[in-house]
Structure 1
């Protein structure tokens, strides 16, 4: 076996990911220093697939459901923002196949049902969102992507698809106690950045047009729910580590350089934390960028519909 070949190809595969990496805004290291640490963590995991001549398996917890705030998104179903992101992920696998014939597969671990009431979206709306995602995979012929969600976990499966019960079991078996999570979050700048970002998302998502309470009360509620969202998210991550132990783990959030997860952007955005389900696709000078709906409208963006459904903006 040519170990030099394995090393070269493994580095190429990781470099495909690293060029889209989400970084923390206030990093004390240079890009080169960060990537050197990341390679030390992930090269052995990628090489393990090459040694066995198996397709590289990526897992990405993402695509939960649309934000309930109409100032951020166009509606409740996937639109151009999701389409572009899915096409990007599929093309990532296609590019890897060019120089590594076994190729790669991307498993999207759709986590909307993991959070449920914590994000203010009912399970029925999450089901509709995920159904549309599956249709998009077929319509766009994205053959390297599959979707895994809470209903696919056999130990949580119930005959009536009771997601409240599944979430309860997930937390009981796979999560840390809230007190331990708070201690971990406040113990590092990376942890505080995550907590603040999730709090901001929850606050913005709850600031709906019909809300009549105080912003301070909403902020306090968002802080409380943020710890619960992180608890559920980490529990989901622990479950996925058990389900897919050898997979290369990706994330839609910035990650510490020594983490087993690599944060990636799926489309250009000026906000290091913004995602397709918290924003809209905006075409500017022929190129798409992700931003909040309110920002696109402030720039006099023209709403484009496809098959009578809101899709994206053009500026």
Structure 2
């Protein structure tokens, strides 16, 4: 199913706490009513999804026949109006510190002026984020490996969705420049320059693969300004010159009288960052460096503090270089802050306001699609299974019988930001187990809507189930379809652009499944045969 407009997949399970920015005011979240349905359509422009009113507000015959397109947004006419709306979008992506959760964004006007400046100059709104250095060296307790995994994937898509949301209200759109700070710290932490390069290259490839067109990557050398490396930089050039890039950036930008200790005491944001570094060093470095050490606990603690202070100094030089290079950009940060000079955002929103990052953790998925970041060593193998993608460990998924299709070759992929793609690899499925398969699809749709079922033998003629208005006695038309009947067909013609490919499934009752799905006056969940 091509052209999934992921930022419009706005159907979520009832009763779950809103975490993602786009979930604001959605039915079924934070106690809002859940008697609604979604419509998934494929037309020449791609796929759009929209939450519609309750069943009482729309005729059943319209459910699969009407084309629901994204509501047009009337662009504000003045830079001030645009700026205020863009600012409200940024605030939805904001990750305030735990003491600021209920507080408005401080110095809002400062960020607003930066936005208005871009609008007046008719340029994309520029944001810069120092992040994505390298995977934690603690491969035993914290992360799954040295390469980006599902955590980085969702983080990139989340940043890209921020820009897409801005594009809806400002025609010039927005972009996020990601500047990896890996080379600023890796030598202190025992990470090789080659590992930083490998991680960064894999991250760039992932962004391209996932269509993150609003994200751009900036190398450390570009912050030097007067150095021409003849981009694109090759791995050989990178490894040869990395130590020089690192030393030059530090020497050119660190203030002569800079004292990490004084800065930690006088600047609250630096204090928060320093505490984060100490916590990071306890888990990432100590296990490796001091496992067989004869150093006392006091000596280890002092060493840890010295390393953290060195990281603060490197970070200060790095921050100054970024401020010079991206003077007109909105400075984003993954670290907790007072939001006075930079806007703290969460790459992956999580319950409890946790600010864990994907390069220090592993992604954990619940059956309903809920996301949490956790250290690998803290994930229970009794309740979760490790999912591999492209031959590498990618994330943990909650165990459930819903993912067991009696030996059938089926893959389950969670969509961003909501929903699930079920890919049936077998050319045929056991027809005697149709109700068995269908029950699982419907149950998954109730938990993680919309559910898209994709098979190599989908019949276009069988793809659309037209729901009809219920009769006074509550019965509905038997005009419907059986998912497995469609999946079992071979040599079917390819769907044409413009075909409506939506099936609405009831959240109550399973009677009549072999004949088809019967619509009731309840919450419907999208199931799409793609």
1:141 equivalenced with 2:221 (yes/no):
no
Residue 90 of structure 1 corresponds to which residue in structure 2? 160
1:212 equivalenced with 2:281 (yes/no):
no
Residue 111 of structure 1 corresponds to which residue in structure 2? 181
- Which of 348, 362, 380 is matched with 1:297 structurally? 380
Whether the 8 Å contact between 1:279 and 1:293 is mirrored in structure 2 is yes
Whether the 8 Å contact between 1:60 and 1:250 is mirrored in structure 2 is yes
1:280 equivalenced with 2:362 (yes/no):
yes
1:230 equivalenced with 2:312 (yes/no):
yes
Residue 14 of structure 1 corresponds to which residue in structure 2? 87
Residue 253 of structure 2 corresponds to which residue in structure 1? 174
Tell me the secondary structure at the aligned position of residue 274 of structure 1: coil
How do 1:1-315 and structure 2 match up within 5 A? 5-27=78-100, 30-32=102-104, 35=105, 37-70=106-139, 71-152=141-222, 153-155=224-226, 161-176=240-255, 180-208=259-287, 211-213=291-293, 215-259=297-341, 261-269=342-350, 270=352, 272-284=354-366, 285-297=368-380, 300-315=383-398
Task: Compute the RMSD of aligned alpha carbons.
Answer: 2.4
- Alpha-carbon spacing, 1:83–1:178, altered in 2? closer, same or farther (3 Å): farther
Q: In the TM superposition, what is the alpha-carbon distance from 1:231 to its structure 2 partner?
A: 1.3
Moved more, 147-156 or 165-174: 147-156
Deviations 1:122-143 (A, max 9, x none): 1111110001011112211211
- Structure with a larger share of its residues in helix: 1
* Structure 2: runs of 5+ lacking an equivalent: 1-74, 230-236, 399-530
Q: In the TM superposition, what is the alpha-carbon distance from 1:179 to its structure 2 partner?
A: 5.3
Q: In the TM superposition, what is the alpha-carbon distance from 1:156 to its structure 2 partner?
A: 5.4
Q: In the TM superposition, what is the alpha-carbon distance from 1:38 to its structure 2 partner?
A: 3.0
Q: In the TM superposition, what is the alpha-carbon distance from 1:4 to its structure 2 partner?
A: 7.1
In our comparison, the structure showing a higher alpha carbon Rg is 2
Whether the 8 Å contact between 2:76 and 2:82 is mirrored in structure 1 is no
How far apart, CA to CA, are the structure 1 residues paired with 2:94 and 2:298? 34
- Alpha-carbon spacing, 1:297–1:126, altered in 2? closer, same or farther (3 Å): farther
Number of residue-to-residue matches in the alignment: 309
How far apart, CA to CA, are the structure 2 residues paired with 1:177 and 1:30? 39
